Structure 1
């Protein structure tokens, strides 16, 4: 399997966090209070203040981001992968703390946002990997911890052949001082089929 590590310095921030420090090959990010992504649905507001570290996403590839969950303690603390085609065309997928429980959360936005959640209470304190793989006109979102198998989270329309970007993101809509440690960012081979689990390499 061909896998290529992506250097943290490769990406460009959509919005700079309070700090982003590379330590021992990890990236420690502190978010700004009120940082978030959302477009209109239900709440009416538009938010594009979250922190995404983006680089070009090559057609026919998958992106994986790994991060630690130990710091997720407050409502809506969140981190994972951002897939970006423009301010109103994006997908964020990761872990979001909701009602005191870590949730596998995906927001798909094409002018308007939707939001899906799946509780994973047994993932508290673990390292989580989020994977996004292009397949035809869609993206397959999967997630796992270091000692569990891939879990398919979402299949969503993402039909762009050029201009798409991807990379780690973090937000803290309700508080200051949220810090996330990202441990891994790689480009790798895409899924062959939705029913076939991809390999996992640390």
Structure 2
């Protein structure tokens, strides 16, 4: 697929106030107090984050490089797999306690949240989500050695297809700037977890 048409089949859920495609990138500026979350701990539901996606049937691997101007608590950007408002997974970089962490939220009716400290990379972080039947496998690419590091295996309800794409939110402000580059969806990587 050429860089001029990679975005032709993508659709926005909750379009941001500003976005621009250029080559193999999309630059996004978030709207005010946007997020995806359901109930747990905070007691609220939010489904107004920005999600640029396309439907994907069967198993797949999706990748993107995300680079953001993380400054305010909960600024976040990455990949999302979504079946419905009550069943989705988002994974990417999220700013909390003054640091950018690798963050995963798995939502099956209610949300959970996990964080992993990873080395900072001024060039952004490459993220991969793979669907293996009822499992979503979450990884990021270590910039130092190029290896894919495991972050999570999460249950996700079986379905014929899901929406897959790029997600960003700024729950406590507006105007978070993020650039996604080299987004791709293809066949799933091998199921082997080790070696």
Give your verdict on TM over 0.5.
yes
Aligned-residue Cα RMSD (Å) equals 2.0
Find the counterpart in structure 1 of residue 106 from structure 2: 108
Alignment partners' CA distance in 1, 2:192 and 2:109: 26
User: Alpha-carbon deviation of 1:58?
Assistant: 2.6
Q: TM-score, normalised by structure 1?
A: 0.88
Q: C-alpha separation between the residues in 2 aligned to 1:187 and 1:23?
A: 19
1:171 aligns with one of 165, 169, 172: 169
Residue 67 of structure 2: aligned partner: 68
Report the counterpart of residue 131 of structure 2 in structure 1: 134
| Unaligned residue ranges in structure 2 (runs of 5+) | none
CA displacement at 1:149 relative to structure 2: 1.6
Matched residues in 2 for 1:136 and 1:24: separation?
A: 33
Measured against aligned partners, the alpha-carbon deviations of 1:55-104 in whole angstroms (never above 9, x if no partner) come to: 012312111111224x1122111000110000000000111011111111
CA contact (8 A) 1:66 1:183 kept: yes
Instruction: Return the TM-score normalized by structure 2.
Output: 0.91
**Structure 1 runs, 4 residues or longer, greater than 6 Å off:** 3-6
Structure 1 runs not aligned, ≥5 long: 198-202
Report deviation, 1:54. Answer: 1.3
